[in-house]
Amino acid sequence: MDPAKALVRTALNGTSLVTPRLAGYGASRLFPLALARSAVRPAEARLLAEATTGRLRLGGREVVTHRWGSGERPVLLVHGWRSRGSRMTAFVPGLLQAGYSPLTFDAPGHGASTGRGTTVLDYQEIIGRLHGRYGDFEAIVAHSLGVLGTFRALHSGVHAARVVALSGVAEFGFLADEFCAILRLRPRIGTELRRQIETRLFPGEPDIWTRFSATYQPEATHARLLLIHDADDDTVHFEQSRRMLLAYGDTRARLITTHGLGHRRILGDPEVLGAALEFIGPAAVLSGSEAAANRP
């Protein structure tokens, strides 16, 4: 554990011995924060330079967007936690080649957007506003936390014909549990953290642990699903994608298991790119050399 995490763990666990409520409150203040911003990589910078950059205002924060192509046949690329839209750009060349218009964004507190942190409701609103601007999505390709945000948007009226979920979080409660596990927080903090998330972060939102999950009301989402998850993912457990497959059934969802890619390298793996692009549309397939060139 790095020194910053160790300091937070010691402070919160120590506080919980005196007042669990205060410790839970402290944990809830940290829960939505990105804490660190990832930098743009050289291959990503080249593709970002070719994009049309836009901005959305979201509760006083500025959300940066990027679009390639004409805007017709839009495919939305949704990044995960402590990431940025540019991490999804390995998909851009193949999508453009097939006549799609890829677009992405940096969530608040991530990439070039302002703010300190974000929630699944921020993802929902941003995706909804992009849907309002560009129309129904041919597909959405989402990674990690972005999968949860995508399904919140789908449940709120956004339409996408297909969804590719990479290393996806299926259950909202997983985020709180994993937050506590990473920091090695005492169980009493986890209980209070959930209460604080309910009352402070999402006041007035009933039953968030069910409703905010990607497995909620699968019959309300009509998109076809491709789930891709690495068996060795130590950030989002493989079981999360298995639960999505169970919820949506093998008539609507397919699960591809990879090995040795972990949580982040899955975004640039040529075979993963090929499978995802073929699922979106047979023409949207990168050649092996193109995929390798865009691998993070």
How confident is the model over 172-182, as pLDDT tens digits?
Answer: 999 999 989 88
Contact between 147 and 288 (Cβ < 8 Å)? no
What is the model's pLDDT at position 35? Answer: 67
Q: Where are the beta strands (DSSP E) in 8-129?
A: 52-58, 61-67, 74-78, 101-105
Residue type, 285: V
- Residues 74 and 121: their CA atoms lie apart, in Å, by 22
Domain spanning 43-171+213-293, CATH class = alpha beta
| Residue 140: partners with Cβ closer than 8 Å, 6 or more residues away | 75, 76, 77, 78, 127, 150, 160, 162, 163, 164, 223
Q: What is the pLDDT of residue 1?
A: 58
pLDDT score of 292: 43
**Residue ranges of the chain whose pLDDT lies below 70:** 1-2, 4, 34-35, 282-296
Taken as a whole, the chain contains a residue count of 296
CA distance 215 to 225: 12
Ordered by start, the domain boundaries in the chain are 1-30+172-207, 43-171+213-293
Give dist(CA 179, CA 123) in Å, integer.
19
For residue 75, which amino acid is it? V
Q: Of the candidates 200, 222, 218, 199, which has an alpha carbon nearest to the alpha carbon of residue 210?
A: 218
Q: How far, in Å, CA of 143 to CA of 127, rounded?
A: 14
What's residue 57's pLDDT?
A: 96
User: What's the one-letter identity of residue 152?
Assistant: R
